[in-house]
Amino acid sequence: MHYRARAGRPLVDRIKGSNYHNMRELRPPSSAASEVRMLFAFDPARQAIVLVAGDKSGNWQGWYREAIHLADKRFAEHLAAMEER
């Protein structure tokens, strides 16, 4: 039997503003002083690829702007490398 991982809000949510509809944000539990976030996506082989991780506390909007841009770039590079194989 095949089980599918199902994590939803508030732990995982879709990222708006990404070039990839499958870009997600993981919100692991963190201390009150930090707001750790991890951006990831599933590639065509159904492997989760963690693209960016960081603490966004004190820089809520700026962190997303930079992180989404970097995650999109890294995911595009990953997909291109998969195509070359």
Model pLDDT for residues 17-44, shown as the tens digit of each residue: 999 999 999 998 887 788 999 999 999 9
Range of the domain at 50: 12-84
In a domain, 79, yes or no: yes
- The answer to whether residue 4 is domain-embedded is no
pTM of the model: 0.83
Residue 39 near residue 24, CB atoms below 8 Å = yes
Confidence of residue 3 (pLDDT cuts 50, 70, 90): very low
In-domain check, residue 2: no
- Total domains in the chain come to 1
- Pick 9 or 45 by higher pLDDT: 45
Between CA 30 and CA 46 the distance in angstroms is 27
Residue 24 domain-assigned (yes or no): yes
Q: Is residue 18 part of a domain?
A: yes
CB of 56 within 8 A of CB of 35? yes
